Amino acid sequence: MTTSDSAQNAAPKAPAKDPWELPDVSGLVVGVLGGTGPQGKGLAYRLARAGQKVILGSRAAERAQAAADELNEHGLGIEGADNAECARRSDIVIVAVPWDGHGATLEALREDLAGKIVVDCVNPLGFDKKGAYALKPEEGSAAEQAAALLPDSRVTAAFHHLSAVLLADPAIDEIDTDVMVLGESRADTDVVQALAARIPGMRGVFAGRLRNAHQVESLVANLISVNRRYKAHAGLRVTDI
């Protein structure tokens, strides 16, 4: 058989996967570490409102439960737990802790987070008289620090550019924004994109591997400047996709 004959008899190439074909994540339990802070609490509220089972995590279980009880005034069924229990009981864990406690928190939860999809949404920022500015962690980004500290977890990065004010406002039905999602495994980033899409108005967009997380995290400093100048709660939209 000639080379040309082999080529003609070869199996047809499978069609490219539709990038908007995402998995059903409605049955996943979502844990939010740092769930008592504005960003974590807002994300927990939106995901629970969309029908997701959510567990709030905090260093103190009582504090987490108090935050969950406050959100449950909307009839959402959110639970509160300490960080370790939150990590163990969740299928996918969002890290929304303050940057100055990021490394220590994750290092302490390494075993509890093993095998989980971890979504880091922490933005390393500094503030001075000129406003917010980006910090550059030794590992390159908060997400890359998470990946280094959690070798047995499936680390992704997402949810950096969301307004905590809009997330927490029950009068707002849709959050009009795209969510940049980064990670090493396309299967894992698909899950995170699908989770973002559970929130009305929101869309998850694949934005590269974790080595590109620094500029995504850093952009929050620019958005803070936008919001201060225009008295807004700006988000992002990616055009032509």
Specify whether the CB–CB gap between 30 and 92 falls below 8 A.
Answer: yes
**CA angle centred on 34, ends 55 and 163, rounded to 5°:** 100
Please name the residue ranges forming H helices in the chain.
3-9, 38-49, 61-71, 83-89, 102-108, 142-149, 164-168, 186-197, 213-230
Q: What's the pLDDT at 30? A: 98
Give Cα 222 to chain centroid, integer Å.
19
CB atoms under 10 Å from CB of 43, counted, come to 28
One pLDDT digit (tens) per residue for the chain, 241 residues: 555 555 556 667 767 889 899 999 999 999 999 999 999 999 999 999 999 999 999 999 999 999 999 999 989 999 999 999 999 999 999 999 999 999 999 999 999 999 999 999 999 999 999 999 999 999 999 999 999 999 999 999 999 999 999 999 999 999 999 999 999 999 999 999 999 999 999 999 999 999 999 999 999 999 999 999 999 999 999 999 9
- The amino acid present at 33, given as its one-letter code, is L
pLDDT of the residue at 2: 56
Model pLDDT, residue 13: 76
Res 177: pLDDT: 97
Q: Say if residues 96 and 37 touch (Cβ distance below 8 Å).
A: yes
User: Would you call 51 helix, strand, or coil by DSSP?
Assistant: coil
pLDDT at 17: 84
